[in-house]
Structure 1
Amino acid sequence: MSSYAQGRKELEKRRKKINKEIKKINTLLFETKKEKTNALDDLKDLSQKITVREQLIETIRLETEELNKEIKQNEKKISSNNKELSTLKADYADMVFKSYKSKSQQSKTMFLLSSENFLQAYKRIKYIEQYKSFRKKQAQKIITKTKDIERLNDSLTKKKNQKKSLINTETTQKKRIENEKEEQEELVSKIKNQESKYKRQLNKKIREEKAVAKRIDRIIRAAIAKANKGKKGKAKKGEFLLTKAEKSLKAKFEQNKGSLPWPIDGVVTRKFGVQPHPTFKSITINGTGLHIRGKKGAAAKSVFNGKVLSITKSDKGTKSVMVQHGDYITTYSNLRTVFVKNGQSVTTGTSLGTVFTNKVTGKTDLIFVLNKNTTKLDPAKWIRSN
């Protein structure tokens, strides 16, 4: 396979992956029933969809470029093969014509009988045999070369059809993104008209999230202190004192970095870390983990073997489950129900609880946080590429 084809195969895989992501975004962000909409949230969701669609259009463009290179390469091969075939046919025709003129059965016999000695006769027999073999090989070369050209032509037709299909897809995607950008502009205009109202709502939400994050941090520190009680040795403040089995589990967890399963099947609506708000750039938000939008009724599942460290309940009634994996902790927040108990051993894929669905917004959002002791890590670097 040529480097062009290899590059296109990778782009094709990327395109299929992005298409899958767009379908998920449509299902999870836009098809959920909402009693009440919020322009700020709608704009965030729409902006995310536009970003992914732009990635799709760029991938299609790159894939079309690679396909163009393959088409040119094919056309060049066909031209070269046609020239070779013309030469082979001309040589073969000349050979047949000469044979017809000089190689009747009588002339062949005379050619052998006119030999001066036995050795010369033997050589002349060999020459006749070699000439026959050469003619046969030339005929076979013509057949093979013709089949090669047919195969290349079939491949060229297929590639041209693929290119046409990609161009049609790109055109469709561009029309869709135009409509989405018009909708985006309308939402931006609506928000600007009531900017102070939306900023107040946003700042209130940020304060609430900070309070929840601080409470979870306190719970983690208390859970670590409780887990260390009765164990031999001395641990640093805020760090687990690990047994031999826990050290082994920690090592296995680290070996699976980048390949852990997703806690729910969904779409990331907020990333980890400090980042400017997508609409109000002057306001920063701090993602303590990943916000993952899933389907209504989705169950949060443990991403690795471990032990339930703590189960907590928020002021709003939603629950959080913390699972210990050596000195790593995964936290699954915004649960409606919980299926596990404190101290319970769990395995990869164990259902921990059902994610809460907001009746007003229709959103089913899991907040997935990863800690090493009390230090927060980016879960996106640990779970597999979706």
Structure 2
Amino acid sequence: MTKNKHIFRVILTMLLCFTTLAFSQNRKLELETRRLELRREIQKMNALQAENKSKAKSELSLIEDFNYKISVLNNLIKITNQQANYLSREINANQKKISALRDELKALKEDYAAMIVKSYKSKNKQSRVMFLLSSNDFKQAYKRLQYIKQYTNHQRQQGETIKAKTQELQQTNQDLLKQRAEKEKLIADNRTTQKTLESTRQQHEVLMRSIKKNINKYTAQIRAKQQEAARIDREIEKIIKAAIVLSNKRAGKSTSSTNFALTPEEKILASNFLANKGKLPWPVESGIVKVRYGTQPHPINRSLTIKSNGVRIVTEKGEQVRAVFNGEVIGVITLKNVNPLVMVRHGNYITTYKNLSKVYVKEGDKVTTKQLIGEVATNKASGETILSFVVSKESTTQDPSTWIYKM
């Protein structure tokens, strides 16, 4: 019973070791994937800035750029530090493992040497044949034969164990050298990132000092932009409410309802849209999120807030806009001094694509996932190409980053 308990404890310990190792490897892979994503974001931002270098960006836009870059650089440093810490723990574990393996090998070799000496002395004093012939009976001879076989097997197994442990020690030493090299590289990368962060912060501070001298002028510009955004949002809300009224009217229900009256086909569409939450494609093939969803303090005047009903994606000039899921176009809005926007309904969910220079669809059109519906407009003065993207359920907006894959 005691032996069974011991075996059970050994198996349980092995399982825990394997589980911990698997978790550690998965976590390392996640961190490395995220680190590479952040580096690509920075490269993309630098490329977009280089593309628009000849354009005179507004101070408001430049501050947004700096804030975005500082945020990404901070995240990159944080992720890289986590990776370095993981490697430190692995290095320490491997150093302990190497020490334990060396002690184990020493004991195994000493035991093996003792067996060889004993076997040699045994051969000198009495041959195996004489050992067997001197048995009192057949039963004793059989047992002595089994003992000789077991002893020989044990010697061989001991030799194989020493060989395996030696190989394991060599491999662990190689792993240790590789981990140390990886850690040194991460530390060097972090030093470079830290320098870039400090330079970006200094540029940000210089620009902020300049802005604060004319804070009233910039506050007026911010308020004007917010009023324009609110006007667009009101138009979007009107179209959604009109679509809800129409759906209820067709279903013979109260037109005062704030929810869509869905047909069986629309219910399936809405269910499929929800089932793909977190897996929907980006509305543009390439881009980075410059402004995220939600209410946040304005980077220039902290007494003002940014109410972002969606996300703003910086992309390349001439970038095509795609529908993120199957649906029906319920609105193509063109307001004075505002670039067109397209609204697509997916059952009781709606996606909105703002700031288009070209529109390829019209109201009532059926669209499919990744179908091109327009082209993102490029600001002639700043050279920036930004798509505003919104997801809503009925009239309630939702965070697009929870719907779009890896946003």
1:99 is aligned to: 119
Residue type at the aligned position of 2:100: S
Q: Which moved more, 1:63-72 or 1:5-14?
A: 5-14
**Are 2:296 and 1:275 aligned?**
yes
2:371 is aligned to: 350
Percentage of matched positions with identical amino acids? 41
Counterpart CA distance in 1 for 2:272 and 2:26 is: 34
Distance 1:98 1:197, change over 3 A: same
Counterpart CA distance in 2 for 1:380 and 1:95 is: 67
Counterpart CA distance in 2 for 1:55 and 1:316 is: 37
2:13 is aligned to: none
Residue type at the aligned position of 2:357: R
**For 1:56-135, what aligned pairs fall within 5 Å after superposition?**
56-104=76-124, 107-135=127-155
1:240 is aligned to: 260
Give the conservation status (yes or no) of the 8 Å contact 1:34–1:360. Answer: no
SS of aligned partner of 2:355: strand
Residue type at the aligned position of 1:118: F
**For 1:1-386, what aligned pairs fall within 5 Å after superposition?**
1=18, 2=21, 3-29=23-49, 31-104=51-124, 107-226=127-246, 228-264=248-284, 265-316=286-337, 318-386=339-407
- The runs of 4+ residues in structure 1 deviating greater than 6 Å are none
Residue type at the aligned position of 1:234: S
Residue type at the aligned position of 2:178: K
Q: Which moved more, 1:53-62 or 1:129-138?
A: 129-138
Distance 1:289 1:120, change over 3 A: closer
**What root-mean-square deviation, in Å, do the aligned CA atoms of Structure 1 and Structure 2 show?**
2.1
Q: Please state how far the C-alpha of 1:181 moved relative to its aligned partner.
A: 1.2
Give the conservation status (yes or no) of the 8 Å contact 1:235–1:241. Answer: no
Residue type at the aligned position of 1:21: E
Stretches of structure 1 lacking an aligned partner (at least 5 in a row)? none
Distance 1:237 1:4, change over 3 A: closer
Q: Could you state the TM-score of these two structures normalised by the residue count of structure 1? A: 0.93
Give the conservation status (yes or no) of the 8 Å contact 1:371–1:377. Answer: yes
Give the conservation status (yes or no) of the 8 Å contact 1:28–1:267. Answer: no
Stretches of structure 2 lacking an aligned partner (at least 5 in a row)? 1-17
Counterpart CA distance in 2 for 1:68 and 1:193 is: 48
SS of aligned partner of 2:363: coil
Q: Which moved more, 1:165-174 or 1:226-235?
A: 226-235
Give the conservation status (yes or no) of the 8 Å contact 2:245–2:255. Answer: no
SS of aligned partner of 2:307: strand
The count of aligned residue pairs is: 386
Counterpart CA distance in 1 for 2:254 and 2:221 is: 46
Distance 1:256 1:113, change over 3 A: closer
Q: Which moved more, 1:284-293 or 1:304-313?
A: 284-293
Q: Please state how far the C-alpha of 1:94 moved relative to its aligned partner.
A: 1.3
Deviation per CA, 1:137-171, whole angstroms, max 9, x where unpaired? 11111111111111111111111111111111111
Distance 1:108 1:167, change over 3 A: same
Q: Please state how far the C-alpha of 1:358 moved relative to its aligned partner.
A: 0.8
SS of aligned partner of 1:329: strand
Distance 1:288 1:102, change over 3 A: closer
Counterpart CA distance in 1 for 2:390 and 2:145 is: 87
Give the conservation status (yes or no) of the 8 Å contact 1:306–1:325. Answer: yes
Q: Please state how far the C-alpha of 1:48 moved relative to its aligned partner.
A: 1.0
Residue type at the aligned position of 2:326: N
Counterpart CA distance in 2 for 1:94 and 1:148 is: 23
Q: Which moved more, 1:213-222 or 1:253-262?
A: 213-222
Distance 1:344 1:329, change over 3 A: same
Deviation per CA, 1:296-329, whole angstroms, max 9, x where unpaired? 1111111111111111212126211111111222
